[in-house]
């Protein structure tokens, strides 16, 4: 079966072609800025401008024709309404034109499913991206959120902090590079509340007490050490609580070299396996949407056009999971 996956929850517009669970192509174009953040309307304009180009690239790379596609999978939520709508219209149009079934996919669950393609059987997912920061695991017939951010996603926090120190969007790679040269650890607010984390207090503290008063390299180093320790404390506790021996990383922030390193150390210390998909599958990508759509369709799911509305606020644990036993 040939699956066409479409991703458009935020700054990335992606199209992937899969043959069952084998990824044939995984193309994308992401909205970026030199200074300032992501403006939803401009991001949606970007997606409109490049959607057909990305589709053509994906088909060419997969050596497939559009009429060979058997199933269209798209990110139905959660995400930015402006962006989700472009992907949904694109998916619905293709489904109607080609007369092929449509399947709406939860973006957060897709990050976990692509991790299982790496060999993880029953993992805890540390999903660290711009808008989303969640610890997810399959338990009792559902993907459940064991911990999450109480305010901003870790990536949005890093982007906002990055803007404060003059970096463009996304700021994560710049912070990662600067942090490598940091030597001095600056004590920052460490906010783990039960199984949840919070970044707003650290950001306020950075703005009021640290930025402009300390070396930027040391600040980036301290931000990474503190924020990632918070994430891994909660992830480790979820692993212990659920008795799971596998950790999967997902989300754009998981491309960070220090987060990868700290995750491997934590897993090694507790005798667990750490699965880190290659960067093209960590960031927002259409391959994970195509794969999850395929798994869902095989289990008998389909999304008729009338139910294909975007779901900006869909929660991971709202999704009925009938494709796992
Ligand atoms: Fe994501």
Q: What single DSSP character describes residue 169?
A: B
SS (H, E, C) 25-58: EEEEEECCECCCCCCHHHHHHHHHHHHHHHHHHH
**Residue 179 clears pLDDT 90, i.e. is over it:** yes
Q: State the distance from the centre of ligand 1 to the C-alpha of 156, rounded, in angstroms.
A: 12
- pTM of the predicted structure, to 2 decimals: 0.92
Please report where in the chains the tokens 């950790």 appear, as a residue: 247
d(CA 137, CA 142): 8
Please give the distance, rounded to the nearest whole angstrom, from the Cα atom of residue 107 to the centre of ligand 1: 6
Ligand 1 centroid, distance to 209 Cα (angstroms): 31
CATH class of the region 2-111+283-318: alpha beta
Spell out which residues have Cβ within 5 A of ligand 1, the ion.
129, 284
Average pLDDT rounded to a whole number, residues 291-306: 98
Distance 214 CA to ligand 1 centre (A): 32
What's the gap in Å between 283 CA and the centre of ligand 1?
6
At the fourth CATH level, the homologous superfamily of domain 122-276 is ATPase, nucleotide binding domain (3.30.420.40)
Which tens digits make up the pLDDT trace of 221-271? 999 999 999 999 999 999 999 999 999 999 999 999 999 999 999 999 999
Q: Is 2 left (phi over 0), alpha (psi -120 to 50) or beta?
A: beta
Residues of the chain with CATH 3.30.420.40: 2-111+283-318, 122-276
- Centroid of ligand 1 to alpha carbon of 301 (angstroms): 22
Å from CA of 218 to ligand 1 middle: 28
Q: Ligand 1 mean position to 106 CA, how many Å?
A: 10
């Amino acid at each position: 079966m040939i699956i066409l996956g479409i991703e458009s929850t935020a700054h990335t517009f992606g199209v992937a072609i899969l043959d069952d669970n084998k990824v044939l192509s995984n193309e994308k174009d992401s909205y970026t800025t030199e200074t300032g953040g992501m403006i939803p309307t401009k991001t949606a304009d970007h997606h409109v401008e490049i959607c057909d180009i990305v589709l053509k690239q994906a088909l060419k790379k997969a050596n497939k024709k559009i009429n060979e596609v058997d199933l269209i999978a798209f990110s139905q939520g959660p995400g930015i309404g402006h962006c989700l709508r472009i992907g949904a219209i694109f998916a619905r149009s293709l489904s109607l034109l080609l007369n092929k079934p449509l399947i709406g996919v939860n973006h957060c669950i897709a990050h976990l499913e692509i991790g299982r393609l790496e060999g993880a059987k029953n993992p805890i997912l540390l999903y660290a991206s711009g808008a989303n920061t969640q610890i997810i695991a399959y338990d009792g017939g559902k993907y459940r959120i064991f911990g999450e951010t109480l305010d901003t996603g870790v990536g949005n926090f890093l982007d906002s902090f990055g803007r404060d120190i003059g970096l463009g969007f996304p700021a994560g790679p710049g912070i990662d590079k600067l942090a490598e040269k940091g030597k001095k650890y600056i004590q920052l607010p460490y906010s783990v509340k039960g199984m949840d984390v919070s970044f707003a207090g650290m950001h306020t503290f950075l703005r009021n007490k640290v930025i402009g008063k300390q070396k930027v390299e040391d600040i980036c180093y301290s931000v990474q050490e503190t924020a990632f320790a918070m994430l891994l404390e909660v992830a480790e506790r979820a692993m212990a609580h659920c008795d799971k021996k596998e950790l999967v990383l997902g989300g754009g922030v998981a491309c960070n070299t220090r987060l990868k390193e700290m995750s491997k150390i934590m897993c090694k210390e507790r005798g667990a396996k750490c699965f880190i998909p290659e960067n093209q599958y960590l960031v927002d990508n259409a391959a994970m949407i195509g794969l999850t759509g395929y798994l869902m369709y095989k289990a008998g799911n389909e999304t008729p056009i009338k139910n294909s509305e975007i779901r900006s606020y869909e929660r991971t644990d709202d999704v009925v999971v009938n494709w796992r036993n």
